[in-house]
Amino acid sequence: MMEKQAVSWVVERHEEIEALINRYPERRSAVLPLLHLAQEARGYLATEDVEAVAELVGMTPSEVTGIVSFYSLLHRQPRGRYTLTLCQNLPCVLAGAEALAQHLRQRLGIAPGETTPDGLLTLEETHECLAACDGAPVVQVNLEYATHMTPEKVDRLLEALRAASQEAAAPDGEEDDAGGL
């Protein structure tokens, strides 16, 4: 019988994992911080990540899966680099969120829950309040708020996210004719 190979983030972050586990009186109490660590490493939680966390904290994979499915910030599918979450609660809807949702769907060419083909943007809509009603309509970019959004502001936001992504993708350490400036 073959021995199961460790997930790379478990090997690479072994000391951090042990420190997290040792913060709690019971190993299983570290399940959420370990799930966040795993998701940070891959961008989402694959089956092997859930199994690794379960083994680390002495739980079954189905117990950990139950926890993952409960929390909206834990994801089982690959996501874009940026997650755009549009609030669809009453104050945002009254301020124009429905039209904004249509604009986002059309501009991105995807439906809520989908990711753009380039893997950059995932669109979500929530009917749970994002607690920024004074800035309605609100779009959350990862965990940052963009308030008083209009179709024009959404277009500028999308351009800024694409530009930031292109800057981040530039090779490190390469010098250009301007000496790396």
Convert the pLDDT of each residue in 14-57 to its tens digit. 999 999 999 999 999 999 999 999 998 888 999 999 999 999 99
Residues 95 and 23 in one domain: no
For residue 172, pLDDT over 70 is answered with no
**Cβ atoms 91, 133 nearer than 8 A:** yes
The region that residue 172 occupies, defined by phi over 0 for left and psi between -120 and 50 for alpha, beta otherwise, is beta
Percent of the chain with pLDDT over 90: 78
Q: What is the pLDDT of residue 177?
A: 38
Residues 87 and 160 in one domain: yes
Residues 60 and 117 in one domain: no
Residues 95 and 158 in one domain: yes
- The domain tally of the chain equals 2
Residues 144 and 103 in one domain: yes
Write out the residue range of the structural domain in which residue 108 sits: 82-169
In a domain, 39, yes or no: yes
In a domain, 17, yes or no: yes
What is the maximum alpha-carbon separation in the chain? 61
Flag the least confident range among 53-67, 103-117, 160-174. 160-174
pTM: 0.72
Q: What is the pLDDT of residue 167?
A: 85
Rounded distance between C-alpha atoms, residue 175 and residue 160, angstroms: 24
- Give the residue from 70, 99, 115 where a domain finishes: 70
Residues 93 and 44 in one domain: no
For residue 101, pLDDT over 80 is answered with yes
Residues 95 and 148 in one domain: yes
- Output the domain CATH number for residue 106: 3.40.30.10
